[in-house]
Amino acid sequence: MQRRALMTFILGGTTVAAGSASAQSLVQTLIDRLAGTGAGADVFVQIAATGNNFEIESSKVLLARSQHPQIREFAQRMVEDHTMLARELAALPEATTRVPSALDGQDTTKLITLRDQTDVDMLNRFYVQQQVEAHEEAVAAYQTYAQNGEVPALKAYAQRHLPMLQQHLQAIRALQLPRTE
């Protein structure tokens, strides 16, 4: 089941825009509501795995086309860090049956939007905005699961990597500031 459909189903039809404060709250509410059911772990792994995949793929698109040094540096770090996170998550026995094999529909749409940008400045802007939204969601999910997760190995994974994701969010927000190219 795709991430958005799962969230909508569990929250009784409530939907919000990705990247908004409400989306962060939605992720926290979703994991909290599922805590103790085993499904909270499923949702966390789904969000973490698809998030890692999106970070890697979108950053590769950016690296292939952009010449902006700070954004390229950030994108290279995303490929390295999220590849490591994806490998570690996939290696956890508690996650192996829960890890999705591909991007979800929402992330696929974002990736297509990014690839379709013909203007490099717009590519940079879309990439930065997408990274802010993706990291806000990731931080919310990791923070919630780090505090309330029911599977110890996944909770430890979330606790261990939350500071790195918070650093990513801080770094990409700094790139949102007006810049000259």
What are the DSSP calls for 78-96, one per residue?
A: HHHHHHHHHHHHHH-TTTT
The number of angstroms, rounded, from the C-alpha of 97 to the middle of its chain's C-alpha atoms is 20
* pLDDT recorded at residue 171: 97
- The answer to whether the CB of 57 falls within 8 A of the CB of 86 is no
Q: What is the mean pLDDT of residues 77-87?
A: 97
Q: For residue 12, what pLDDT is reported?
A: 41
Q: Are residues 99 and 49 in contact, defined by beta-carbon separation less than 8 angstroms?
A: yes
Using left for φ > 0, alpha for ψ between -120 and 50, and beta otherwise, residue 2 falls in: beta
* Sign of the CA dihedral with 139 first, then 35, 20, and 78 last: positive
Residue 120's alpha-carbon distances to 55, 59, 136, 143, 171, in angstroms, are: 19, 14, 24, 34, 20
Q: What is the DSSP letter of 68?
A: -
Q: What is the pLDDT of residue 38?
A: 63
- Beta-carbon count within 10 A of 94 CB: 16
Joined tokens for residue 98: 């829960």
Q: Tell me: the pLDDT tens digits for 117-165?
A: 999 999 999 999 999 999 999 999 999 999 989 899 999 999 999 999 9
**Of 64, 65, 75, 47, which is closest to residue 134 (Cα–Cα)?**
47
Give whichever of 6-10, 22-26, 92-96, 160-164 has the largest mean pLDDT. 160-164
What is the rounded average pLDDT of the residues 94-111? 79
Question: Which residue, among 17, 23, 44, has the nearest Cα to 155 in the 3D structure?
Answer: 44
Q: What percentage of residues in the chain have a pLDDT greater than 70?
A: 74
**What pLDDT is recorded for position 26?**
62
Q: Domains, the chain, ranges and CATH?
A: 3-176 (1.20.1260.10)
Which tokens sit at 68?
Answer: 């902006």
106, 2 Cβ separation under 8 angstroms? yes
How much is the mean pLDDT over the chain?
A: 83
- Rounded Cα distance between 12 and 83, Å, is 34
CA 85 to chain centre: 11
